[in-house]
Structures are given as C-alpha cells and as structure tokens.
C-alpha cells in the first residue's frame, strides 16, 4: 500500500512538472503580484485609499501593462488601469516597490510607480490631465 501511494504521488509530481514546463514553453508567465501594506492614505488614478494591505497585480502584460489593485482581505477591486513600463531609477533600493508623486502638504500622495519585487521594470500609473491627485497637473 505504501508503494502504491508513493507511485501515485510520484506520478502526480511528474505530471505537474510536465504541465509547468509546457506552460513555460508556450510563454505563459504567471502574473506578477505583490502584497503591499500602506501606513497612511494614498491615491491612485481616480481613487483615494485608506491605509491598509493591498494586492498589486499585472493582469495583462504587454507594452501598456494592465495593473489591478485590490484589497488584500476582501478582494474588492479598487483599480484596473493601463500603466506605462518604466525602468527602475538608478539609486532606488531593490526593496522599494512604490514611488510617490510629490504633493503639497495635506494632500494624499499619489502612487507614481510600482516596481514588483525583483523587477527592474516597473509600472507608472497614468493620471488624467488636471487630476486632483496631482494638484491639477497631469502626467499625460
């Protein structure tokens, strides 16, 4: 009985490896996803969010990546938006994932870019011209 259980587990492991290899060979890359916790309110295009834990995830890779931001606990989606690919700035520590826009005192800082863990390419959020999150200036 122990041998048959070992054989079944071994077969399942081999099948999983074969399926993973086939998926990689077809170019299917698992989505990039990070869990981020903010200690203060922050803004994204069209939405201001309270401090808390969120999931940042690339759901559509390409030249203009589609990024989704949702509440980590409830799964509620707050943003699904196109972003621009940007290179990690020289001197930005590898463990720093978020870059904020500079704003006047008292304003909620908008996220300028998100850099997934271990990636040299990040995702710059696109704010409409005149966006209140940017104090009236836009990034378009």
Domain ranges of the chain: 1-30, 33-134
Out of 31-40, 59-68, 84-93, pick the least confident. 59-68
Q: What is the pLDDT of residue 133?
A: 60
Q: How confident is the model at residue 31 (pLDDT cuts 50, 70, 90)?
A: low
The CA-CA-CA angle for residues 48, 52, 57, to 5°, reads: 80
pLDDT band at 2 (very low <50, low <70, confident <90, very high): very low
Confidence of residue 20 (pLDDT cuts 50, 70, 90): very low
pLDDT of residue 14: 32
pLDDT, greater one: 56 or 22: 56
67-119 confidence digits (pLDDT tens): 999 999 999 999 999 999 999 999 999 889 999 999 888 899 999 999 998 88
Residue 138 has, within 13 A of its CA and on its CB side, a CA count of 9
What is the distance between the alpha carbons of residues 111 and 33, in angstroms, rounded to a whole number?
16
The span from the CA of 58 to the CA of 32, in Å, is: 5
**pLDDT at residue number 63:** 67
33-38: strand order across its sheet: 33-38, 52-60, 66-71, 77-87, 121-125, 111-114, 98-100
The CA-based angle 42-46-112, given to 5 degrees, is 50
């Amino acid at each position: 009985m122990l041998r048959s259980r070992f054989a079944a587990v071994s077969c399942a492991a081999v099948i999983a490896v074969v399926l993973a290899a086939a998926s990689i060979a077809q170019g299917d890359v698992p989505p990039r996803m990070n869990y981020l916790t903010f200690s203060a309110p922050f803004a994204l295009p069209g939405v201001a969010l309270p401090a808390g834990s969120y999931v940042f995830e690339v759901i559509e890779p390409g030249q203009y990546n589609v990024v989704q931001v949702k509440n980590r606990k409830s799964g509620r989606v707050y943003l699904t938006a196109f972003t621009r690919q940007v290179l990690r700035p020289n001197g930005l520590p590898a463990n720093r994932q978020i870059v904020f826009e500079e704003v006047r005192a008292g304003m909620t800082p908008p996220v300028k870019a998100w850099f997934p863990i271990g990636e040299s390419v990040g995702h710059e959020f696109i704010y409409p011209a005149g966006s209140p999150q940017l104090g009236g200036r836009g990034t378009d």
